[in-house]
Amino acid sequence: MGNREMEELIPLVNRLQDAFSSLGQSCLLELPQIAVVGGQSAGKSSVLENFVGRDFLPRGSGIVTRRPLVLQLVTSKAEYAEFLHCKGRKITDFDEVRHEIEAETDRVTGMNKGISSIPINLRVYSPHVLNLTLIDLPGITKVPVGDQPPDIEYQIREMIMQFITRENCLILAVTPANTDLANSDALKLAKEVDPQGLRTIGVITKLDLMDEGTDARDILENKLLPLRRGYIGVVNRSQKDIDGKKDIKAATLAERKFFLSHPAYRHIADRMGTPHLQKVLNQQLTNHIRDTLPNFRNKLQGQLLSIEHEVEAYKNFRPEDPTRKTKALLQMVQQFAVDFEKRIEGSGDQVDTLELSGGAKINRIFHERFPFEIVKMEFNEKELRREISYAIKNIHGIRTGLFTPDMAFEAIVKKQIVKLKGPSLKSVDLVIQELINTVKKCTKKLANFPRLCEETERIVANHIREREGKTKDQVLLLIDIQVSYINTNHEDFIGFANAQQRSSQVHKKNTIGNQGTNLPPSRQIVIRKGWLTISNIGIMKGGSKGYWFVLTAESLSWYKDDEEKEKKYMLPLDNLKVRDVEKSFMSSKHIFALFNTEQRNVYKDYRFLELACDSQEDVDSWKASLLRAGVYPDKSLTENDENGQAENFSMDPQLERQVETIRNLVDSYMSIINKCIRDLIPKTIMHLMINNVKDFINSELLAQLYSSEDQNTLMEESAEQAQRRDEMLRMYQALKEALVVIGDINTSTTFTPAPPPVDDSWIQHSRSSDSFGAPPQVPSRPTRAPPSVPRFGAMKDEAAEP
Nearest to 205, CA basis, from 82, 359, 50, 34: 50
Name which of 166-175, 413-422, 464-473, 637-646 the model is least confident about: 637-646
More confident residue, 424 or 115: 424
pLDDT at residue 278 above 60? Answer: yes
Q: What is the mean pLDDT of residues 505-525?
A: 42
In sequence order, which ranges of 629-753 are alpha helices (DSSP H)? Answer: 638-642, 653-685, 691-699, 701-708, 711-714, 719-744
Burial 113-125 (b: 16+ CB within 10 A, else e): bbbbbebbbbbbb
DSSP state of 606: B
HEC letters along 623-638:
HHHHHHCCCEECCCCH
CA angle 171, 174, 178 (to 5 degrees): 160
Find out whether 721 and 448 touch, Cβ atoms under 8 Å. yes
Which of 22-36, 122-136, 445-459, 546-560 is least confident? 22-36
- Predicted confidence (pLDDT) at residue 197 exceeds the cutoff of 70: yes
Asked whether the predicted pLDDT for residue 473 surpasses 70, the reply is yes
* pLDDT tens for each residue of 342-400: 888 877 566 666 777 788 888 888 888 888 888 776 555 667 777 777 777 777 666 66
Between 522 and 574, the higher pLDDT residue:
574
pLDDT at position 29, please? 56
Query: Of the ranges 562-566, 627-631, 632-636, which is most confident?
Result: 562-566
Picking from 222, 491, 461, the residue whose alpha carbon sits closest to that of residue 340 is 461
Q: Among residues 138, 162, 174, which one has the least CA distance to residue 64?
A: 138
State the pLDDT at residue 687: 92
pLDDT of 521 reads 37
Confidence (pLDDT) at 680? 93
Q: Using one digit for the tens of pLDDT, what is the confidence trace for 392-445?
A: 777 766 666 555 566 777 888 888 889 889 899 999 999 999 999 989 888 888
Conformational region of residue 185, where left means phi above 0, alpha means psi within -120 to 50, and beta covers everything else: alpha
pLDDT, position 793: 40
Q: In 523-658, which ranges are E strands?
A: 526-534, 546-552, 555-559, 567-572, 576-581, 590-596, 608-613, 632-633
Task: Look at residue 509 and tell me whether its pLDDT is greater than 50.
Answer: no
At 470, is the pLDDT very low, low, confident or very high (cuts 50, 70, 90)? very high
E strand or H helix at 176: strand 169-176
- Specify the pLDDT at position 644: 42
pLDDT at residue 774, as a whole number: 39
Distance CA 539, CA 445 (A): 52
Q: What is the mean pLDDT of residues 293-310?
A: 78
Note the pLDDT of residue 477.
Answer: 95
Query: When comparing pLDDT for 274 and 28, which is higher?
Result: 274
pLDDT confidence of residue 431? 92
Per-residue model confidence (pLDDT) at position 476: 94
pLDDT score of 78 more than 90: no
Distance CA 119, CA 121 (A): 6
Cα 749 from Cα 746, distance rounded (Å): 6
| pLDDT for residue 172 is more than 80 | yes
* Alpha helix (H) residue ranges in 346-449: 359-364, 370-378, 381-396, 406-418, 421-442
Distance CA 512, CA 526 (A): 23
Enter the pTM of the model.
Answer: 0.48
* Between 134 and 479, the higher pLDDT residue: 479
Average pLDDT, the chain: 76
Q: Tell me, what's the pLDDT at 428?
A: 93
Name which residue leads in pLDDT, 167 or 171.
Answer: 171
Residue 335, pLDDT score: 86
pLDDT at 783: 38
CA dihedral defined by 53, 57, 62, 65, rounded to 10 degrees?
-120
The H or E element that residue 338 is part of is helix 322-345
Rounded CA gap, 273 and 203, in Å? Answer: 10
Q: What are the beta bridge partners of residue 633?
A: 578
User: What pLDDT sits at residue 472?
Assistant: 93
Q: Which pLDDT value is given to residue 323?
A: 73
Say what the pLDDT of residue 745 is.
62
pLDDT tens for 178-191 read 777 777 888 888 88
129-143, 470-484, 536-550: the lowest-pLDDT one = 536-550
Tell me the C-alpha distance between 47 and 35, whole Å.
Answer: 12
What confidence tens digit (pLDDT) does each residue in 677-728 have?
Answer: 989 999 999 999 999 999 999 888 888 888 877 777 777 777 777 777 777 7
Instruction: With beta carbons less than 8 A apart as the criterion, state whether 487 and 648 touch.
Output: no
**Cβ density class 191-228: b for 16+ within 10 Å, e for less:** bebbeebebbbbbbbbbbbbbeebbbbbbbbbebbbbb
Cα–Cα distance measured from residue 619 to residue 633, given in angstroms and rounded to the nearest whole number: 12
CA distance linking residue 157 with residue 165, whole number of Å: 12
Mean pLDDT along residues 211-239 = 82
Calpha distance 289→32 (Å, rounded): 8
For 175, 187, 200, 223, the CA distances from 228, given in Å and listed in that order, are 16, 12, 8, 11
If pLDDT is split at 50, 70 and 90, which confidence band does 105 have? confident
Average pLDDT over residues 724-734: 78
3 state SS of 39: strand
Distance CA 83, CA 97 (A): 9
The sign one gets for the Cα dihedral 351, 353, 357, 361 is: positive
Looking at residue 695, its pLDDT comes to 92
Position 169 scores a pLDDT of 82
Does the structure show a pLDDT above 80 at 752? no
pLDDT of residue 450: 83
| Residue 675 in this model has a pLDDT that exceeds 70 | yes
pLDDT at 134 over 60: yes
Distance from C-alpha of 507 to C-alpha of 489, rounded to nearest angstrom: 28
What are the C-alpha distances in Å from 57 to residues 43, 105, 475, 746?
A: 12, 12, 77, 38
Residues β-bridged to residue 135: 35, 70
Report pLDDT for 507: 35
User: How is the beta sheet containing 69-75 ordered, strand by strand?
Assistant: 80-83, 120-126, 69-75, 132-136, 33-38, 169-176, 200-205, 231-233
Residues 6+ apart with CB under 8 A from 526: 550, 551, 552
Q: What is the pLDDT of residue 205?
A: 87
